[in-house]
Structure 1
């Protein structure tokens, strides 16, 4: 029983680390301290005051690194890739462990260059938010590729033949032909595969020839929607929300202005972009304690969010496209998101998105909240959002 509990705990920690992972495969420790605590994992129970020694004690499962720019500690799950050769088969569940694996762990790939190539090849769409960051170009596409690969891995839709591998990106070119990623066996790095290029079948590129020469059946795209009734919001169903849990667990996603209003005079609520990464865990713990110490503050936020949900339901009744399907990697399923307007001074401004799931009993349950950039990225995995409130160029990404 103890071993089972330990295994479940390690799996939960791995999940939290993976969900917060950057595109280079590393997760800043400063971003996960509060998330661990919110999920009932308190490192103090294990005798640790800081995250670095805690993860060092779990060296069997995690690797520690240092950010070259900030000198802050990083962590990632141990490489789960298998170097076993896979021959001419579509599915082989024994070749890769079923833990979450990311593209940069699986293949040697220059992410920045690959994303630029994919953007230029795919049917044009906006892949950046309101403000473009030259150090992190096309963030929507980067997250799309990251989580599409995770989903394909879970669905066993990565194809292997001889010394080649390929997957369907889910994107199309200007002629609506599917774009595939093609890889060959990696001979020099620890990842088992090496990225060759993106291609469409039938073109004259090296990658296209490798694709059609080695795969009789081309890779399928990721599948998200199993039942279309699940992605149409039913406004007649009741909604269950544990607001206290939602607010405290996701305090770092709550609108800054709303927190300032309820904490006025008792806590200096800062703009998240102005907080040093090394101080974020401590800052959010203090903010969480301020809210917990005065139930009235939580009650005010809960009431405002409850009213925002009712407004969102009216909006769905007016336009069913208001409720948008999103893929949620944590439980590998598709949920619906509703827009919540929480700015008293700007009543039409959407602050965050509430993630909803339909229960077997025929009710809706709130799962979590997303910032708008998270909402767009997760929605884009399913399809390009067609909405009057979730618009890439209107989103300010933190």
Structure 2
């Protein structure tokens, strides 16, 4: 007689797609938590629970994984008098760092930035001549090797290198298509530096990176729509944030505000056009009229502020402010930003006569767009490009924290 008991049915095995979906959600949640403490600073677990909408146990697990990866540290809150166990504070790790490089006509600067956003080291190597791409890579690689051998602690983990280039950089491969003041054309600078250092390397336009830095950590914190103009030894560059995201264009070349027409009777620019912003407004002109050399650019504020009315310095400041206002008129009319941030020597111009700059911009801009726009100096000072380049290097880890396991 056959056994009437039905044979046991095997339990259905979990769907591979379901497991993959759970993993994607976990990774996305890790990225969300890490981004919150990276941009906003230390936060308690309870604050992270509230900010993300996730439950406490999920936050605890995510934070635990980030701690294991070395990306954050936990500590008890200072001075807490609340009854019961206080919620631990989650802080991005200063031991997880990005290295940065900013090649300029006057110097190659290398920085070290922690995931907590602090610039830990900055080394500036003055150039005797305008560096070739290979020269700049060699200098940067030597400084990086020295930092890793003698300065960085043994437990520091390096995610990679971010490069802020004063020129057009192909977003796809870090090739410098054109850095006119440096004389670079189609230079695979990121690849060369990666080979020299053995570290993952990404490159982008310096002003675009400055816009990201000021938007996340500086004068533009909390502002969704801003335009950043950077003034340096290699001219004037621009970066644009729209709804909090960088506007890059198809190839990563957007934001070249330095080549806005401001003087139809002006000089021929190196780009071939006439009267570009950076031919009329420049650091070299300010240094010349104040008697400073290019290594003394950090003294421009004092030199411009102390100028006597009608003096050559005051006349040059007024001339450059008026041409800058023409360019900013176009920025206001084209982008309708909430904020325009000025960095480098442009910040010094703004500080020298902020009322004139604002008045000239408002007088020439269209109603509506001009009504709410603000103009401010960059808040990060000399750190703006270093922090921006670090954000480029941190991008992969912020998008996928689990990739931190590959950091050296």
TM over 0.5: no
TM-score bin, normalised by smaller chain: under 0.3
| TM-score (norm: length of structure 1) | 0.26
Query: Could you tell me the TM-score, scaled by structure 2's length?
Result: 0.25
Larger Rg: 2
Choose between structure 1 and 2: higher helix proportion: 2
